[in-house]
Amino acid sequence: MAEIYKIQNRKSRLFNCNITFILIIINVVVFLVTIILTTIFGFNFDFLALKPGDIIQGKNLWTLITSMFMHGNFAHLFFNMISLFFVGTLLEKIIGKKRFFLFYIISGLFAGLFFALLSGFFGGGIIGEKIFGNPMTFGVGASGAIFGLVGILAVLIPKKKIYLIGGPLIAITAQAIFESLFPANPLSNILNLAISIYIFFSIFSIFSFNPKFKKFAIPIEMPFWLIPIIAIVPLIVIGLFVELPIGNMAHLGGLIAGLSYGFYLKSKYKKKTEYIQQIFK
């Protein structure tokens, strides 16, 4: 009995912690470990990244989970963790820690599987590759799971006004378009550096108490229900003409999982969701 109590007590302590912070720490640690081992020892972590072609063949299925905690570069990690911090902290308080943690993992798995199936079966050809992704291209990142969290909030608190940081999104899109049109331009390195500086400046300006300072980030106020549309549809359209390093289908898969679970919660807990919507108007 004493041993059982100890196990249960450890579990309760785990879920008394801030799950969002734990997930952020895991992502950061995994990123640092991969960078160190890759840089110093030349270690290759491709076996942990999701490759749609492999998933379709039933190979490397563990990458559906490992790819959720890997990121391509520091900027990729930084933006995902900033998003996870704001969205995750809010949702964790609304639906509870255990439900939040379980759904985060399920949403990430579904997003990866959704991306793998669509890319694997429909990613052939020029148009298919632009829309669904190349089945031989690796995919990593927490954004699929994060879009699942956004999907829940879009259902539970659709009228809640939040700010989408438009500046970095515009800068990244402009950078991708420029590199696509001028792949060997000598100004690319300078442009990349300038955009990186602007992006980090924009992110930190959001935390400023000076309204004029925040304007550099181009914050766009909108209701939560509009966020998924703005964050996915324009990038899919742009992706038809310019190659973007963004897994739109993984985002869409996570969003579908989030919307589905959000409507389930709304149906099962009508009074609670109505109360939540009154609070977050």
Q: pLDDT tens digits for 140-180?
A: 999 999 999 999 999 999 988 887 777 777 777 777 777 77
Six-digit token string for 146 = 């994060």
- Tell me whether residue 195 is in a domain: no
- Tell me whether residue 172 is in a domain: no
Mean pLDDT confidence for 133-138: 88
Residue listed under structure tokens 């869409």: 252
pLDDT value at 249 more than 60: yes
Which residues span the domain enclosing 68? 2-164+223-279
Sign of CA dihedral 160, 235, 104, 75: negative
What is the percent of the chain with per-residue pLDDT over 70, rounded to a whole number?
93
pLDDT (tens digit per residue) in 68-127: 999 988 878 988 998 899 899 999 999 999 999 999 999 999 999 999 999 988 987 788
What is the percent of the chain with per-residue pLDDT over 90, rounded to a whole number?
43
- Tell me whether residue 71 is in a domain: yes
Look up the pTM and report it: 0.84
Q: How many domains does the chain have?
A: 1
- Tell me whether residue 149 is in a domain: yes
- Tell me whether residue 273 is in a domain: yes
- Tell me whether residue 241 is in a domain: yes
- Tell me whether residue 189 is in a domain: no
Cβ 135 vs Cβ 123: under 8 Å = yes
Question: The domain spanning residue 153 has which CATH number?
Answer: 1.20.1540.10
Mean pLDDT confidence for 47-59: 92
pLDDT at 10: 52
Q: What is the chain's mean pLDDT, rounded?
A: 85
- Tell me whether residue 171 is in a domain: no
pLDDT at 133: 86
H/E/C letters for each residue in the chain? CHHHHHHHHHHHHHHHCCHHHHHHHHHHHHHHHHHHHHHHHCCCCHHHCECHHHHHCCCCCCHHHHHHHCCCCHHHHHHHHHHHHHHHHHHHHHHCHHHHHHHHHHHHHHHHHHHHHHHHHHCCCHHHHHHHCCCCCCECCCHHHHHHHHHHHHHHCCCCEEEEEHHHHHHHHHHHHHHHHCCCCCCHHHHHHHHHHHHHHHHHHHCCCCHHHHHHHCEEEEEHHHHHHHHHHHHHHHHCCCCCCCCHHHHHHHHHHHHHHHHHHHHHCHHHHHHHHHHCC
pLDDT at 209: 65
Mean pLDDT confidence for 232-254: 83
Residue whose C-alpha is closest to residue 256's, from 159, 154, 132: 154
Q: CA–CA separation, 202 vs 163, rounded Å?
A: 13
